[in-house]
């Protein structure tokens, strides 16, 4: 059911309930007030008649009938219950003898006299040592008729008022939701390949305008994410095309007749190198996608163990290249995170350093802590990063020019993997150059203020 229809229905139901409750309560209160006014008048009349009776001013007629009384609906009964006085409009007695004898104190009661509803007030009066009874009454039909007219007005005027309220709610809701419908159409018209994904923000500075601004922010984030994925696919295709082209050429040359054994062996060796490069690229792509989509586990991870295991794994390769790997542990820290992801990040940093470290140089892996931040820094003594490369060091497939010309250069995803791991653990990755020469990459992770064995709730 549309929101507009629901709002109109709810507003109509609320209006109906409000009219019914307030109308009938008003009618009841009106009747009560009018009856109270009748009672006030009866008290005054009863007091006057009672004073006249007590003073002996009541005189019966010569024929023995009740004495005439002024006013209306007024009667006086003596101690025996006989009617001794009556107004002209009620010559016949209102109360029976038994009813007169039963009255001991003043009382008020509702009665029906003929076809009229009356309010009767009974007041005992002492006269000549006996108790007489004064009865004065007044019609309550005016009070009942006024309340009935109010109820009839509610019954006949309420439904049109409810319909008008529902129609007004329908129109107001339509006007309020019109910008939302316009935004919906604009969002529906946004194409995946649209140049700009944005909707018009109303100038009302209200909740609708805030919604439009928020939707523009979300659309902007989605567009940037889509652009990144497109660039990623393009870069991945570019990286895959080169080794595949080389591999295809080597295999075609190897398949030509008349090739010597040495030429075939060289072709196979070249093809094997390109296959290794493709395998490394595929592994890095899978690792990058996995680290970006899978939240890290929350388990205690001793960073000292991670660093030593990584250094030990790269030791043979470093020895063959004449490079020394030194671990410098300035603080023993246990963080909460994913040991496999952290080890992959450190491996990528050490591998990147080995690509650039010259022979007879040293790679330093440092674990340190400052306040609530733990850092793992890998520094080498190579040529360092070009200054124009540093802002894009952690982007996918971004490599310094020197790396592209080195034999066995990386895939351009190593530092991107490091940043993905840092982001997943609520930290960050920082790249720079050392003052003494060489590159430095630091992985910073949050940790609690006290160095306890169980540390750090890592945000993902």
Which residues on adjacent β-strands are paired with residue 376? 367, 443
Q: Are the C-beta atoms of residues 364 and 328 closer than 8 Å to each other?
A: yes
Tens of pLDDT, residues 49-88: 888 888 877 766 656 677 888 778 888 988 888 888 888 8
398: nearest Cα among 417, 421, 415, 382: 415
**295, pLDDT greater than 60:** no
84: nearest Cα among 58, 107, 105: 58
Residue 411 pLDDT: 57
Tens of pLDDT, residues 3-33: 778 888 888 898 889 888 888 888 888 888 9
Residue 379 pLDDT: 92
- How many other C-beta atoms can be found within 10 angstroms of the C-beta atom of residue 122? 23
- How many other C-beta atoms can be found within 10 angstroms of the C-beta atom of residue 91? 12
Alpha carbon separation from 70 to 44, 48, 90 (Å, rounded): 14, 11, 11
- Could you tell me where the beta strands, DSSP code E, fall in 2-106? 67-69, 74-77, 83-87
Tens of pLDDT, residues 355-405: 888 998 999 999 998 888 899 999 998 888 888 877 877 776 666 654 433
Element (H, E) at 410: none
Binned at pLDDT 50, 70 and 90, residue 193 comes out as: low
| Single pTM value for the model | 0.47
Tens of pLDDT, residues 121-174: 999 988 888 888 899 988 888 888 888 888 888 888 888 888 888 888 888 888
- Min mean pLDDT across 226-240, 338-352, 439-453 is at 226-240
406 φ/ψ angles, rounded to the nearest 5 degrees: -80, 145
Is the alpha carbon torsion for 138, 143, 148, 149 positive or negative? positive
Residue 63 pLDDT: 63
400: nearest Cα among 368, 439, 373: 439
Q: Which domains does the chain have, with CATH numbers?
A: 3-146 (3.30.450), 295-446 (3.30.565.10)
């Amino acid at each position: 059911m549309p929101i507009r229809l629901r709002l109109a229905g709810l507003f109509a139901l609320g209006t109906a309930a409000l009219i019914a409750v307030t109308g009938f309560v008003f009618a009841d209160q009106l009747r009560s007030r009018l009856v109270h006014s009748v009672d006030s008048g009866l008290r005054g009349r009863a007091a006057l008649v009672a004073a006249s009776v007590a003073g002996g001013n009541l005189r019966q007629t010569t024929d023995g009938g009740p004495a005439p009384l002024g006013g209306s609906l007024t009667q006086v009964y003596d101690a025996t219950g006989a009617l001794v006085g009556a107004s002209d409009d009620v010559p016949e007695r209102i109360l029976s003898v038994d009813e007169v004898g039963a009255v001991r104190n003043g009382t008020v009661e509702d009665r029906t006299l003929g076809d009229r509803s009356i309010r009767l007030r009974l007041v005992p009066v002492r006269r000549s040592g006996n108790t007489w009874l004064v009865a004065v009454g007044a019609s309550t039909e005016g009070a009942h008729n006024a309340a009935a007219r109010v109820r009839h007005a509610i019954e006949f005027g309420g439904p049109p008022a409810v319909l008008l309220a529902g129609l007004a709610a329908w129109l107001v809701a339509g006007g309020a939701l019109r910008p939302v419908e316009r935004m919906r159409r604009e969002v529906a018209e946004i194409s995946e390949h649209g140049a700009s994904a944005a909707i018009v923000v109303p100038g009302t500075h209200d909740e609708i305008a805030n919604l439009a601004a928020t939707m523009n922010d979300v659309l902007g984030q989605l567009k940037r994410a889509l652009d990144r994925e497109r660039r990623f696919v393009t870069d991945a295709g570019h990286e895959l095309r080169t080794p595949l082209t080389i591999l295809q050429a080597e295999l075609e040359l190897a398949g030509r007749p008349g090739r010597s054994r040495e030429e075939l062996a060289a072709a196979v060796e070249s093809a094997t190198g390109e296959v290794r490069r493709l395998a490394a690229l595929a592994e890095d792509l899978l690792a990058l996608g996995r680290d970006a989509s899978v939240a890290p586990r929350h388990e205690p991870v001793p960073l000292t163990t991670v660093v030593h295991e990584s250094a030990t794994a790269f030791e043979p390769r470093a020895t063959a290249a004449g490079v020394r790997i030194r671990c410098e542990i300035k603080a023993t820290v246990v963080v909460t995170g994913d040991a496999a992801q952290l080890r992959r990040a450190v491996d990528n940093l050490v591998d990147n350093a080995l690509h650039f470290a010259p022979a007879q140089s040293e790679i330093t892996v440092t674990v340190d802590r400052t306040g609530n931040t733990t850092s793992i820094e890998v520094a080498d003594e190579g040529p360092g990063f070009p200054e124009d490369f540093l802002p894009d060091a952690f982007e996918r497939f971004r490599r310094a020019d020197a790396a592209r010309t080195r034999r066995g250069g990386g895939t351009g995803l190593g530092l991107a993997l490091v940043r993905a791991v840092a982001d997943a653990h609520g930290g960050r990755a920082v790249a720079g150059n050392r003052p003494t020469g060489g590159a430095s990459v630091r992985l910073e992770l949050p940790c609690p203020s006290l160095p306890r064995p169980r540390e750090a709730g890592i945000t993902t």
